[in-house]
A and B are shown apart, each in its own frame.
Chain A
């Protein structure tokens, strides 16, 4: 069995999660501090990829990062390369599509922190940035871990935006869902089934971890 779709999926999903994490934490923190009106505007923007059809997101990414798009031209000028139809495109598609789920979990965690913990920390001499790292992040860590898991799983399952923006190039941009799609089209149902099983196994383990984080055993440090 060709393992390249699995490796590529793990690579793109892992990098997408790493890219998303600091942005989602920052957005979560910002939203938890904003007024209701501003908060709802930012939340709408953050949640957009979740409600838009994935192919629409893929199309928008292709337009933006394609050879004639603003982002594409910028990258071409800076790095003399095109990213459309590469594993980088697959990573970006996975990042954009998984961001809302990760952000949602982190936003909820940040919003549930009583503001007074941060106020007390300030009265004890901590600057806002120190409060962020010593109080806010530790108190939100369960939601952040949960966000990492759901974001990673969502990135692994990304299909629609990836196929439009990154294509379905074997060994280059073919992730597990795209490989399953190809194998099905070629009538290789056994290969498709094996990939589906691997995909399901990763998802089950992730859900188990997610549940464990959400309801940790009493003696757990999480």
Chain B
């Protein structure tokens, strides 16, 4: 173990009882610790090393399609990620600008070093948050409730709730060729005690796999042979709370391609890839396959795209996005050198695959507390997800829910109709991920409503309720709402020369708010507030579709409103298919709506379940 942290050591915490102990300092851990301490809870964050807080283990970027929505939602409720990336991003782009607003997403290249420094500063400056280094090995349980953790070396940290956010560090095993090394990230250790302890407590653990590409030295790359990719001319910040003129540094990335030579090198050496020798058993993500997989599964393609992304302005490492691999080092040398621009590239770090334990997430409630141990929460990759954003939102929700648990208040859960966060949690608890779970816009059936541009209008009220959003910031939102409402009323009451309401005129493809205000000077005052005119324009363009989605939401809410008791006795159901019954027993859905989304449960099963819920013996238990 490294030296004790500057701010505090576990030693001084021996006789103290924390409200919340967060184990792990990645993106989930940081948000969890910040949310909990900002809610006034006495919080301890335990990490293997304070030097890797909020580290970006894989690509140096935040946001992207659907992930950008997650960051905006987190920000609207008072999370940290958006603010930090706004201060440390080195290239900002809005994706999908050729499509409608609902499927556009912000993305930023991060200066990963600065991101860590900035996040650590925020953590250190937060009142009520203690940072400490230490490896959690075991849990203290009394009467089915968590009471604290035991560190390697025997020290005890006592806490009312514990949030585990250990990422890929649970029995992490890194593969490069036939070489394997224990560890959750290059150059770092792993937790094995936690896995064993969790298994002893009766939790089910499975394995997943993910991979990372090589890093190359900047000065060894010939960027002249690559295509340049620039940031947006008019960058948009992630955070609703980043105010003033936003003009971050816009550093270019570069694009190059693999070629048939690259592919034949890889093909000839497949027998040395741990993915193909059977050395790796965990399932990897299909949306982020290794270059080995790409070459094998898409044999007809003669090239694959590669992005060269700077990791930090203060480092000369380039992240080679697109060639995640676990091939041996000599093969990585050979195939990388076959790529235009990379002929003479020197490796700063070779690519590797990492296998790790995760807990199939039917073992947690949608508010992230484990079903087995009261007060024990899980967030991030330990629940089978992938991505900094997916981890961060879980950490945030777990942080809030741990505090609510301490306060003995009911949990905070978002549903599928109000946030991507709701979609994420609902998907997780309803089906065990077969691969690391990543958010896509197509997972959100109400995606026209869940836009990155209206995350504040959807969710800021919650942040305000918890005190994570300032009164001033919230007043700004309320003012915006008033303007939107007024403008919409004006547009639907005012008619054009052809007798159409202005709202309908605005719906025409060639129209936008600015062109409309040229004809109607009354609108000029509004068009000065782009955040208002943008919302009005979207509502006009999507009208009809938004209404239809809202009708679906109403239907959805009715099914969600019928709750199933947590101790519902499934053994009295006699007429259901065994398969459906088994999966219901495993997941134990909390509402009829949730039950209907579980894979393997049909509408007929739902009818039967409903009838049993209605039996007089259950009458008292059914609430709605």
Asked if A and B are interacting partners, one says no
Interface residues, chain A, with chain B CB atoms under 8 Å away = none
Interface residues, chain B, with chain A CB atoms under 8 Å away = none
